[in-house]
Every structure is written in C-alpha cells, then in structure tokens.
Structure 1
Amino acid sequence: MPGVLPDGEPVPATGELPATALARAGERGFGVYVHIPFCASRCGYCDFNTYTAAELAGGVTRESYADLVLAEIALSKRVLDGVKAPVETVFFGGGTPTLLPAADLGRILHAVDDAFGLAPGAEVTTEANPESVDPAYLRELRAAGFTRVSLGMQSAARHVLAILDRKHTPGRAVEAAREAREAGFEHVNLDLIYSTPGETAADWDASLTAAIGAGVDHVSAYSLIVEDGTRLAGRVRRGELAVPDDDVAADRYLAADAALSAAGLGWYEVSNWAASEAARCRHNLLYWRGGDWWGYGPGAHSHVGGVRWWNARHPSAYAARLAEGASPGHGRELLSAEDEYIEDVLLRIRLAEGLPVSSLRAPGRHAATLAAADGLLDSAALADGRAVLTLRGRLLADAVVRDLLP
C-alpha cells in the first residue's frame, strides 16, 4: 500500500513534547501545514493521502472537516503553551483544499492566528486544482488572508493530462492563474510534471511556454515518479505505458531551466524557479532550512525541536482520536544529532544558497573540493565557503549528497 506510515514510538495521548524540544521550538522559524484529504477524483500517479467522496462514504465529510482541524489546533495550542514562535507560513495542501468552502479555509486560518499569532507579512498558501476555483472563490480566499495560490497545471498537452488522469482542460490552469491575479494574489505558482510516458519534447516546450505566458511569478517542475501501488504503476507494470526515461527527464529539466531563466525566473531550489526573492515559497524554504512546523490533518507530519511525528492516516481514525480528546498522532521519532546532520546536508544542498562548507565534516569538505573539480559544485562559491550545485550538479544532486555524507 503506498504511503504506509512507519510505527515509530507511541505519541502521548496528550501530544506533549519533551522539554528539550519545546526549548528549541522555532529556532529556525515556525510554520503550519494543513492537510485537506479530499479529491473529486484520484489521479493515476498520485500516492498522497487523499480520498474521494465514495471512499469516505459514511465517514468524515467535507462539511465536518474544518471542525476536526480546529480541534487539533486547540490541542497544539495546549502542547506549545509558552512557546514564543509566531507562525511565519501557512500551507494548505492535499488533496484539493479548494474543495472545501473558502469560508472553512478562512476559519482554519483564523484559528491558527488566534492560537499562535501570524507573524507580520506571513505567507499563506493554498494548493488548488484549476477546475476547483473560480473568480468569486479566489476573491473570498484573498479577503480571508491568503496571499499565495499554487495551481496544479502539470501539462498543456491534452493527451499528457489524460495519461495523468487530470480532469482540467489544457488552458484552464492559465485562465485560473489570471483569475487569481485579478483577485489580488501577487504570488501565483504553477506546478508542472515532466517525462510523462508519451510526452514529447514539443509537448514539454508547449507546457513551459504556456506557464511562462500565464504571467505567474513562480513555477515548480517535477519529474514524474511512478509510485508503487498507484494506477500508473499498474499500467507501467502491464506494459501499457513506458517507464519514464532518466535521460529524457534530464533533457526536460535542462529545457525547463533554460526557458524559465530566459523568462526571468531564477532557480532557488532544484525544482523551483521564482521571479524574485519575494516570490519564493517561504513555507517550502522553512522545510529545506530545517525549520519547525505543525502539520494538521490525517497523515500530516510535524517537526518541532528535533521531534518528528505523524498523524493517523485515515480520516476516520484521525477523527476518532480527536473525539476522545487525544492526540491524533500515530507515531513519532526523536532525531539524533546524526539524523539532523544528514537531513541538513540533504535538504540545504538543494538550495541555490547552498550550505556552508564549514558545516560539513572533514571527509565531506574534501568531497566538496572534488565535486567542484568535477563541475558538480560551483568553484567560486566554494572559494567563498559555500557548497552550491552547478546546473550539472542539480541533475546529479543525489550523487553529490552521497559524496558529501561519507
């Protein structure tokens, strides 16, 4: 089954955290993630924790869901009592958050603000499918305090959307981006997927041209991953679709970087390009820089002060635990110093800002010198004390990480 949660150690019924974790909370920033598990239909490539209405028949409903999240917010307020860490970013993901009424998303946001306080200028993002929003809905979101919308475009080619089981028409994402800007959203992202079976170089070029033409200030582009247990994986296994080719994926990435860079969107993380520093997704930067966040909703993960935990996966189990006044946490782990070191290198090397060479151990510093000589790390940045991936290094980022973590 895709996305099965690990067991970990038990989470206390109260959700309480060790004093050492509370003492460190917010040292690198604090954010909130809200998982909305509903989808109108299931995309064949997706292994996220999502459910259609038919799959939840008789259980948790869209109408009751906001109140469940509010109950977990109240629990988190008790757990973090005394922690002085205003919320810098809020990210609603899924699933399709915009299948809930905009008023419910606003209620959740306001509950977060009441519990912890939103930092001045906090970034508030929601993901959305292009067909799940309209101008009135977007205006309501903006009025509720949302500052950023991330739209799942994936492709501008109709046959590629069909392979991915996406329901929107090729032009709808661009239209929704325009509607978001007209509703007052300064920051709008389009998500793209490349190397889908059957996608041609011309298809990918058309998708990039459409995304750039939409006038958004942020684009994310990810190579398709065939996840075990998905409908797409079954089609690949039966030979109905070809396995995505690594060389093709590399070519698509290079095309994306060239087109987006020429359009004034610079890379700031391996899979993300933005028109300015202000346009970068601050919530994702919080993750990559090792910050803290509380994840609300079924299956959501959290990290505070070196403790990571994850909620019960199924919405019914999540709801049942909250109804008992207990934490919905399924399991947790206390990260060791070694765990934190590995994650720090693994995540920060993906950023255009890189990571300080001084933060690496001696073998890693030596490996960084060799990587620069091999054209995988920027030599000038290394001379200034930072390990920064080159374009070629981005294509081989996993290999670079392995070398930096001997």
Structure 2
Amino acid sequence: MPATLPDGDPVPADGSLPGSALAGLGERPFAFYVHVPFCVTRCGYCDFNTYTAAELGPGASRDSYVGTAIGEVRSARRVLGDVDLPVETVFVGGGTPTLLPPDDLGRVLTAIDEEFGLAPHVEVTTEANPESVDEAYVHRLREVGFTRVSYGMQSAREHVLSVLERTHTPGRVPQVVEWTRKAGFDHINLDLIYGTPGENDDDWRASLEAALEAEPDHVSAYALIVEEGTRLAAQVRRGELTAPDDDAMADRYLIADEMLSAHGLRWYEISNWAADPGAVCRHNMLYWTGADWWGVGPGAHSHVGGTRWWNVKHPAAYAARLAEGTTPAHSRELLDEDDRHIERVMLELRLAQGCPAGLLDGKAVRRAIGDGLIEAAPYEEGRAVLTLRGRLLADAVVRDLT
C-alpha cells in the first residue's frame, strides 16, 4: 500500500491559511496539481497514493471523482480569496489520469479556469500510460485544452517491464506518440526508469534508442528507488531480485546524458532533458523555483507562501471531507527561514541554471570546485552550477553546501 502521510500541525476545518502564506499571494507564479488516484493494477515498484477498483471500497468511485475534485477547486478559491491568480500551469498526475474520460479531465480544467482564470499561454499536462489511450482519446484531450502529455514508457525491454509489472508492450509507445503528435500536441515527454533488477547497460541503451526514435521533445530518466512496502522491496528482501547497484546506476546516468545530449536534448534538471527552452516542463520548474501551487485530490500536496499541506489519503475520506464542507487537508507545516533556505538550495542546485552563489558558503563552494563538483566559470559570474560529476553526487553536494 502507499506510504503513510508525514506528521504535521492541525489544519483549521475551513482550510484557512496563516497570514504569512497569504502575504505576497499573486506576486509568485501559481499552479494546480490534480491527482487522479486510480490504476487498473498496482505496479510492483510503485508506492504512490493510488488504488485499484478492489482497494477503493464504498464512498468513492471513478464516476464521482471529478465532481469531488471540482469541489476542492471551488474550496481553493474561497481559501485564497479574490486575489488575481492566473494559473500558469496545470499538471494532472496519478495513478493513471487517462483512466478517466477526457471530457471529465476537461471539466476539472474548466472549473480551474472559471475560478482562477488560465494564463494566456498556460501549460496543461497529463500523465498517461501507453495502454490507457487510443487515437480518439488523445484527440479529445487536445480539444479540451491539454497541451502536453507525459507517457510512462519506463523501458523498451519486455523482461524489464515484466519486473516492473508494467502492462504495455514496447511497441505501444511509438504508436501512442504518433497519435499524440497527429492530435496537435507539440510537447510530448517519455518517462524512463533505469536500474531495474535484471537490466544491463545494453538494455538501457536500447530503451534510450527506442525513446529517441519516437522523437519526443522531452525525456525524463529516473533511477529506480526500491520503496519500503512495495512488492519489489519484498522481492529484494527475499533475495528473489538484486537491489540496484550504485555504480551501475551512475553508469546508466552517464549513458543517458551522453545519448540524449547527442540527440539534441539538453539537461535542464538532473533527471530531465529537453529539446529547447519551449519543451521544458514549466510546471516542474515552478516546483523547483519556489512558486505557489494547490494540489487537488487525495494525498495531494500544496504549497503557498512557505506553508505546505497535504490531503487525507483515501479517496473515500477525501470525498467525505468535501461533502461535509470541511477541508480535505490532513495536516500542514510552516517552513521557517532556515527550512526555506535549505529547500531552495536543494532544488535550484539541481537545475542547469544553478542557484545564486550568494546562498552558499563561499569556502564550501571553492572546495566543491576543487573536487570537480561545481563549475568554476559560472560561480565567478554569481551562479553555482553542478558539473556532470556533481550531478551524480548531488545529494551529498547539497549537504556539504548547506
């Protein structure tokens, strides 16, 4: 089952935010994340807050979900007041959002537009599994306002997909990308995972080659994490599968960066490569640069002005809270200045643009430059930017610099 929610402070029944969060509201970019918590089956490596039909139980359903989510959008408007907040990006994630009809996803988008207004050049993304869409579906997605689709490809090798318990076949991905492009989408992302037990370097190269042959303008490549409580973790614990090796993971990252760069995709965040600035995922950039966003859905996280909160996990509990007219938020935390400083460094240092040098201890940065972890020239110009070696050791670099 999905991981437990973090501890935090109680949230008022009406969901009201502290004055510190509302100060400056509207001066920072604003976005929505919409969580769709449904999957046909649960992949063995996944610990996201998702539910199969058998796990839902009474009080929640796919059919009623959109109406409930729209209720939270209306609640967000009441909590945030009448401040002008044009929505820069909307990201629909899951789960498998495309298990819902495209018109239902469009209804949520319409509600956001009615309550807040969509910015003129809004980016609207949905995640999708390759097997969950057909040509008519993606055409309708485009018609209801989506501008970007992110497909969970993961691998082009059947034995790797089998370990991950993914249900699509490798040949499905180029087909859905072709449909998506024909539907008028300029921006298509493919998500890949490296380090799956049983995968070797040649398997990984084949997956990258297959992804590039489909000609997406964006690729995300993530190292597999064996999360506690998942079936994959149990298999590793029993010795049925071998845990990912750190050195092998580093080699796979280097292979990805070399192949993607050679194809004209440039890294802009440690795990993300884009064909040009217009292909960058603007929604994720807002996360990484301290913007405000409202997370709709069970287990969804939100952030406004240094206050972070997260909703109750189960769809039935989420629906019951909104039906009662109370906030679906489970708890929250108020970040102090030290927390916000550390978080800013941690997130911005992952970006190709780096973070302002003034946020860091100069002596520690010069030591990192000497160790080949930080680029020397950008630092002299006021930015701290990771080298390729620094990207491989990013978490340790952040710890040393903060």
Counterpart of 2:196, as a letter, is T
Q: How many residues align?
A: 402
Q: Secondary structure at the match of 1:32?
A: strand
Q: Corresponding residue for 2:359?
A: 359
Which stretch shifts more, 173-182 or 314-323?
A: 173-182
Q: Is the 8 A contact 2:73 2:296 kept in 1?
A: yes
Q: Secondary structure at the match of 1:24?
A: coil
Separation in structure 2 between the aligned mates of residue 296 and residue 3 of structure 1, nearest angstrom: 18
- Equivalent of 1:369 in 342, 366, 371: 366
Separation in structure 1 between the aligned mates of residue 86 and residue 322 of structure 2, nearest angstrom: 24
**Equivalences for 1:41-56 in 2 at 5 Å?**
41-56=41-56
Q: Corresponding residue for 2:138?
A: 138
Q: Corresponding residue for 1:195?
A: 195
Q: Is the 8 A contact 2:311 2:318 kept in 1?
A: yes
Per-residue CA shift, 1:357-390, capped at 9, x if unaligned? Answer: 0122xxx221111111111111111111100001
C-alpha RMSD over aligned residues: 0.9
Q: Corresponding residue for 2:392?
A: 395
Residue 176 of structure 1 deviates from its aligned partner by 1.0
Matched, 1:385 2:395: no
Per-residue CA shift, 1:195-253, capped at 9, x if unaligned? Answer: 10000111101000000110100000000000000000000000000010000000000
Separation in structure 2 between the aligned mates of residue 54 and residue 372 of structure 1, nearest angstrom: 53
Separation in structure 1 between the aligned mates of residue 50 and residue 107 of structure 2, nearest angstrom: 21
Per-residue CA shift, 1:330-362, capped at 9, x if unaligned? Answer: 0011110111001000100000000110122xx
Q: Is the 8 A contact 1:153 1:191 kept in 2?
A: yes
Separation in structure 1 between the aligned mates of residue 364 and residue 2 of structure 2, nearest angstrom: 35
Q: Corresponding residue for 2:212?
A: 212
Runs of 5+ unmatched residues, structure 2? none
Separation in structure 2 between the aligned mates of residue 53 and residue 330 of structure 1, nearest angstrom: 23
Separation in structure 2 between the aligned mates of residue 26 and residue 162 of structure 1, nearest angstrom: 46
Q: Secondary structure at the match of 1:227?
A: coil
Separation in structure 2 between the aligned mates of residue 341 and residue 83 of structure 1, nearest angstrom: 26
Matched, 1:285 2:294: no
Separation in structure 2 between the aligned mates of residue 399 and residue 23 of structure 1, nearest angstrom: 34
Separation in structure 1 between the aligned mates of residue 48 and residue 104 of structure 2, nearest angstrom: 22
Residue 261 of structure 1 deviates from its aligned partner by 0.1
Separation in structure 2 between the aligned mates of residue 2 and residue 315 of structure 1, nearest angstrom: 13
**Equivalences for 1:93-172 in 2 at 5 Å?**
93-172=93-172
Counterpart of 2:304, as a letter, is V
Runs (4+) of structure 1 exceeding 6 A deviation are: none
Q: Corresponding residue for 1:61?
A: 61
Identity percentage over the alignment?
65
Q: Corresponding residue for 1:4?
A: 4
Q: Corresponding residue for 2:270?
A: 270
Separation in structure 1 between the aligned mates of residue 192 and residue 287 of structure 2, nearest angstrom: 21
Residue 25 of structure 1 deviates from its aligned partner by 2.3
Counterpart of 2:144, as a letter, is A
Q: Secondary structure at the match of 1:110?
A: helix
Separation in structure 2 between the aligned mates of residue 371 and residue 181 of structure 1, nearest angstrom: 43
Residue 85 of structure 1 deviates from its aligned partner by 2.0
Residue 2 of structure 1 deviates from its aligned partner by 4.4
Q: Is the 8 A contact 2:96 2:128 kept in 1?
A: yes
Separation in structure 2 between the aligned mates of residue 253 and residue 51 of structure 1, nearest angstrom: 31
Matched, 1:347 2:344: no
Q: Is the 8 A contact 2:190 2:220 kept in 1?
A: yes
